[in-house]
A and B are shown apart, each in its own frame.
Chain A
């Protein structure tokens, strides 16, 4: 598998990158003529129930792959590979314990509320279900989170291109920012979704040969497990009970923290992914979107975890404190080690695509929340649609500029994944408790939700400060993130319940279509899809496959 020396970029590699840029920008400009209204631009034509208003109709397979690809940024590709190099096969828990069950839950139980309540964003659901302060708190915290995550993708891209191609870090950041700006400001969410689908295939084609070549090199999984030496590196559950596993986490942190709070918190409440599902042409399409995404997602460890394992075998000197050979760079190092020119350019382009899709996803979610939940709500009500379209475009540009600033923040974290899970434990973990109680318990009151959310986020901040001061110690940063999310979720859940019983809940008539069992079936004139296409049935198949994979890699 190894060559004489690392590959360096040649003309053919640059050509691959240029061809990709031409297509990405071409899609944005081609879709520009479809952007007539703010809803076309910000919501890809999902016009909240006003039939026939938009010319945009996106097929379910496209929204499904975009749903998957929006999450396929630096986190997924470089972060998961870095995690696998550091923690071994246990990284697959992010998929087989976390993502798949959460995506099934979203499709079957939560998407009907999101889609049928005719909301334009997740914060808007919180306003309808609870009150304005809860929406405001979530809108502002989400806006902060998206630019923090967007900056992470920029930073990841810059370090790859500096390391592999020798490009200056600042030039890489600005080049990527300008390209993403060009295609999101012209074609809006639709352009972002279309490019995410293109990027999905590019990522698969760019990364899959790494795994194929690794499989050919070692011949069997047993040979790879032997090369990994520590048994915990090649097993999902074997060393979890004792807590002496490479991830340094216990059963509570893993199952409750990762499997429940962080994963469900991300997949079920993060507007970045929900927005893709809501762009579907009807409710069935919206429900199938996470399901369509979950099928390839099950196999994604082949593209991310497996190369991370190969990298630590090939380069045992990788480490979080090793500036020259950081875990974060596991994939680019491996590409330079095994890909010849041509394929090397494709691999680099796949990384570029992954960062750009991750960044564009965050920016398009940011511009929607900014325009509808902050600008239209607090700064300029009752303006014309053309005005909000202009604001949406301006928010896109400003979001990208702020992302450039946040890119430099990420540099202080040991690994991309640690940074990301830290951000999620602050914002998504408590929010999931709010949604769970809001959607499934009608006694939850508006002020209960608001103070629960504030208390949960506050708990995450306190936990983080205690960790930073050394008063709370975990064996790895990841274990700390899992426990922080459990603490934030629990505090939010308990405080929400307590204050809900002390304050007045909303009248049942106001909760129609927003809470489980309160009129969600009313007006559902969709005929039932064929048995095998029902979200529940497909969800059961997905869960079954996930259980089998957990048993195989026990």
Chain B
């Protein structure tokens, strides 16, 4: 099953990079209470979105690694208790033979 954090993360990585790069090449100002502010909102917001995307993908990746680490352990734990019953299953019964 798809981890939704991957599409979210990659979407914001791409959009963030797009905005930051475009904004860097197109300087602008906007007026604040203290007068004009020489910053194009594209740049900080693009960087913020890019970092958010990185964080989201990293979290998804971290969970994937954790799951992969747990899987051998849980598989081993699942096999252990079943060992006696699987042995007993090897004993032939009339039904199996038929």
Q: Which residues of A contact B4 (CB under 8 A)?
A: 27, 62, 194, 197-198
Given contacts A216-B37, A340-B42, A342-B42, whether A19 and B1 have CB atoms under 8 Å apart is no
Given contacts A27-B7, A57-B1, whether A219 and B33 have CB atoms under 8 Å apart is yes
A476 within 8 A of partner (CB): no
**Are A1's CB and B19's CB within 8 A?**
no
Given contacts A23-B7, A339-B41, A340-B40, whether A34 and B18 have CB atoms under 8 Å apart is no
Proximity string of chain B (8-24) to chain A, C-beta cutoff 8 Å, 1 when within and 0 when not: 10111011001100110
Instruction: A57 to B10: give the CA distance in the assembly, Å.
Output: 22
A35 to chain B, nearest CB (A): 12
Q: Residue of B at shortest CB range from A339?
A: B41
**Which applies to chain B's interface (DSSP): helix, strand, loop or mixed?**
helix
Q: Which residues of A contact B49 (CB under 8 A)?
A: 205
Instruction: A62 to B28: give the CA distance in the assembly, Å.
Output: 37
Q: Residue of A at shortest CB range from B29?
A: A3
B25 to chain A, nearest CB (A): 10
Instruction: Count how many chain B residues have C-beta atoms less than 8 Å from C-beta atoms of the other chain.
Output: 29
B95 within 8 A of partner (CB): no
Proximity string of chain A (481-507) to chain B, C-beta cutoff 8 Å, 1 when within and 0 when not: 000000000000000000000000000
**Are B11's CB and A338's CB within 8 A?**
no
**Are A223's CB and B33's CB within 8 A?**
yes
Q: Residue of A at shortest CB range from B45?
A: A209
Given contacts A12-B22, A19-B11, whether A217 and B41 have CB atoms under 8 Å apart is no
Q: Residue of B at shortest CB range from A11?
A: B22
**Are A343's CB and B19's CB within 8 A?**
yes
Instruction: A15 to B4: give the CA distance in the assembly, Å.
Output: 22
Q: Which residues of A contact B7 (CB under 8 A)?
A: 23, 26-27, 30, 194, 198
Q: Residue of B at shortest CB range from A349?
A: B15
**Are B1's CB and A56's CB within 8 A?**
yes
Q: Which residues of A contact B11 (CB under 8 A)?
A: 19-20, 23, 198, 202
Partner of B12 from A55, A201, A342 at Cβ < 8 Å? A201
Instruction: A30 to B33: give the CA distance in the assembly, Å.
Output: 48
A401 within 8 A of partner (CB): no
B54 to chain A, nearest CB (A): 14
Instruction: A55 to B2: give the CA distance in the assembly, Å.
Output: 11
Proximity string of chain A (1-28) to chain B, C-beta cutoff 8 Å, 1 when within and 0 when not: 1110000000010011001100100110
B31 within 8 A of partner (CB): yes
B68 to chain A, nearest CB (A): 18
Proximity string of chain B (32-57) to chain A, C-beta cutoff 8 Å, 1 when within and 0 when not: 11100100111001100100100000
Q: Residue of A at shortest CB range from B43?
A: A342
Q: Which residues of A contact B40 (CB under 8 A)?
A: 340
Q: Which residues of B contact A3 (CB under 8 A)?
A: 28, 30
Instruction: A179 to B34: give the CA distance in the assembly, Å.
Output: 44
A31 within 8 A of partner (CB): yes
Given contacts A19-B15, A55-B1, whether A341 and B26 have CB atoms under 8 Å apart is yes
Report which residue of B4, B11, B15, B41 has the largest number of chain A beta carbons within 10 angstroms of its beta carbon: B4
Which residues of A40-71 are within 8 A (CB) of B?
55-57, 62
**Which applies to chain A's interface (DSSP): helix, strand, loop or mixed?**
helix
Instruction: A218 to B33: give the CA distance in the assembly, Å.
Output: 6
Q: Which residues of A contact B23 (CB under 8 A)?
A: 340, 342-343
Which residues of A90-131 are within 8 A (CB) of B?
none
Q: Which residues of B contact A342 (CB under 8 A)?
A: 18-19, 22-23, 26, 42, 46
A228 to chain B, nearest CB (A): 16
Q: Which residues of A contact B8 (CB under 8 A)?
A: 197-198, 201
Instruction: A295 to B49: give the CA distance in the assembly, Å.
Output: 22
Proximity string of chain A (188-214) to chain B, C-beta cutoff 8 Å, 1 when within and 0 when not: 000000100110011001000100010
Q: Which residues of A contact B10 (CB under 8 A)?
A: 23
Instruction: A31 to B7: give the CA distance in the assembly, Å.
Output: 12
Q: Which residues of B contact A176 (CB under 8 A)?
A: none
Which residues of B51-92 are within 8 A (CB) of A?
52
A262 within 8 A of partner (CB): no
Partner of A19 from B14, B33, B41, B46 at Cβ < 8 Å? B14
Q: Residue of A at shortest CB range from B56?
A: A201
Given contacts A16-B18, A23-B10, whether A1 and B31 have CB atoms under 8 Å apart is yes
Q: Which residues of A contact B12 (CB under 8 A)?
A: 201, 205
Report which residue of A1, A19, A30, A201 has the largest number of chain B beta carbons within 10 angstroms of its beta carbon: A201
B28 to chain A, nearest CB (A): 5
Instruction: A218 to B26: give the CA distance in the assembly, Å.
Output: 25
**Are B2's CB and A31's CB within 8 A?**
yes
Q: Which residues of B contact A346 (CB under 8 A)?
A: 15, 19, 45
Q: Which residues of A contact B19 (CB under 8 A)?
A: 16, 342-343, 346
Instruction: A55 to B33: give the CA distance in the assembly, Å.
Output: 54
Q: Which residues of B contact A1 (CB under 8 A)?
A: 30-32
Instruction: A384 to B52: give the CA distance in the assembly, Å.
Output: 45
Q: Residue of A at shortest CB range from B16?
A: A205
Given contacts A205-B12, A216-B37, whether A12 and B18 have CB atoms under 8 Å apart is yes
A448 to chain B, nearest CB (A): 44
Instruction: A378 to B30: give the CA distance in the assembly, Å.
Output: 61
Q: Which residues of B contact A15 (CB under 8 A)?
A: 18
B67 to chain A, nearest CB (A): 13
**Are A338's CB and B30's CB within 8 A?**
yes
Given contacts A15-B18, A19-B14, whether A30 and B2 have CB atoms under 8 Å apart is yes
Instruction: A346 to B46: give the CA distance in the assembly, Å.
Output: 10
Instruction: A218 to B31: give the CA distance in the assembly, Å.
Output: 10
Given contact pairs A23-B7, A23-B10, A219-B33, enumerate 9 new A-B contacts (beta carbons under 8 Å): A26-B7, A194-B2, A209-B45, A213-B30, A216-B30, A342-B26, A342-B42, A342-B46, A346-B15
Ordered by A's residue number, 28 sampled pairs between the chains whose C-beta atoms are within 8 Å are A3-B28, A3-B30, A12-B18, A12-B22, A16-B15, A16-B19, A19-B18, A20-B11, A23-B7, A23-B11, A30-B2, A56-B1, A194-B2, A194-B7, A197-B8, A201-B12, A201-B52, A202-B11, A205-B12, A213-B30, A216-B32, A217-B30, A223-B33, A338-B30, A340-B26, A342-B19, A342-B46, A346-B19
